[in-house]
Chains A and B, each alone.
Chain A
Amino acid sequence: DTEVTQTPKHLVMGMTNKKSLKCEQHMGHRAMYWYKQKAKKPPELMFVYSYEKLSINESVPSRFSPECPNSSLLNLHLHALQPEDSALYLCASSPYTGKGGGYTFGSGTRLTVV
């Protein structure tokens, strides 16, 4: 299995909703990432879990909350989002954050906040 699987592929949510994005990989990778990508912009790193230890991009608002239940799973919990949070959310994994290893990206979740 050489894939990173993200669900759902599309999500529409209201500003008062709570939802979660899910990401799964079975490649034995020990680092997993959440990226946010707005249209016609490069991806922006939000969170990194390396060996289940969290690193945070401090510019990410607290309405985004990551969770790593185990080394194969990564969740992104969403609460009280704003319309400007609408974007493509990409999960990626890599063997480790050290030398070598490439990133494998999931197909993404297209999020629309209404």
Chain B
Amino acid sequence: ELKVEQNPLFLSMQEGKNYTIYCNYSTTSDRLYWYRQDPGKSLESLFVLLSNGAVKQEGRLMASLDTKARLSTLHITAAVHDLSATYFCAVINTNAGKSTFGDGTTLTVKP
């Protein structure tokens, strides 16, 4: 059974600081997603990582994938209040057509 673990689950940080969210998964997979969810809203796709060593950046967010370590990271640079949300990673088992989400990291950025 595929398991996805995110940490931390809750993150409170000050504006301007840097931090990293970690996503570990238990079995091999060829796709990993990062999503953002604002309270009461749907999921917004941030990144799709398709191969080992993949790195993608959008604004203050950068995601990377290490398939050998079964680890993905979401790095936040110089956080701003607008980044406050819950961030999920999700791993896809394409053979089974299944997706498994981590528990999410609730990020609060304070002035």
Chain B, interface residues (CB within 8 Å), range: 20 to 34
Chain A residues, CB < 8 A from B43: 43, 90, 92, 103, 105
A61 at the interface (CB under 8 A from B): no
B101 at the interface (CB under 8 A from A): yes
A88, B38: Cα distance in complex, Å: 13
Q: Enumerate B32-57 residues with CB–CB distance to A below 8 Å.
A: 33, 35, 40-45, 48, 50
A102 at the interface (CB under 8 A from B): yes
Given A48-B97, A50-B97, are A99 and B30 also a contact pair (CB < 8 Å)? yes
Distance in angstroms from A98 CB to nearest chain B CB is 6
Q: Are A43 and B101 in contact (CB under 8 A)?
A: yes
Interface size of A in residues (CB-CB distance below 8 Å): 27
Q: Are A99 and B94 in contact (CB under 8 A)?
A: yes
A100 at the interface (CB under 8 A from B): yes
Chain A residues, CB < 8 A from B99: 33, 45, 103
Q: Are B45 and A105 in contact (CB under 8 A)?
A: yes
Distance in angstroms from B21 CB to nearest chain A CB is 14
B70 at the interface (CB under 8 A from A): no
B75 at the interface (CB under 8 A from A): no
A110, B41: Cα distance in complex, Å: 10
For B30, the closest partner residue in chain A by CB is A99
Chain B residues, CB < 8 A from A97: 94, 97
Question: Which residue of the partner chain, among B30, B50, B97, B104, contacts A42 with CB atoms under 8 Å?
Answer: B104
Chain B residues, CB < 8 A from A99: 30-31, 50, 94
Give A residues with C-beta under 8 Å from B. Answer: 31, 33, 40-45, 48, 50, 55, 88, 90, 92, 97-108, 110
Give B residues with C-beta under 8 Å from A. Answer: 30-31, 33, 35, 40-45, 48, 50, 88, 94, 97-99, 101-104
Complex A-B, nearest 3 residue pairs according to Cβ-Cβ distance, in ascending order: A42-B101, A102-B48, A97-B97
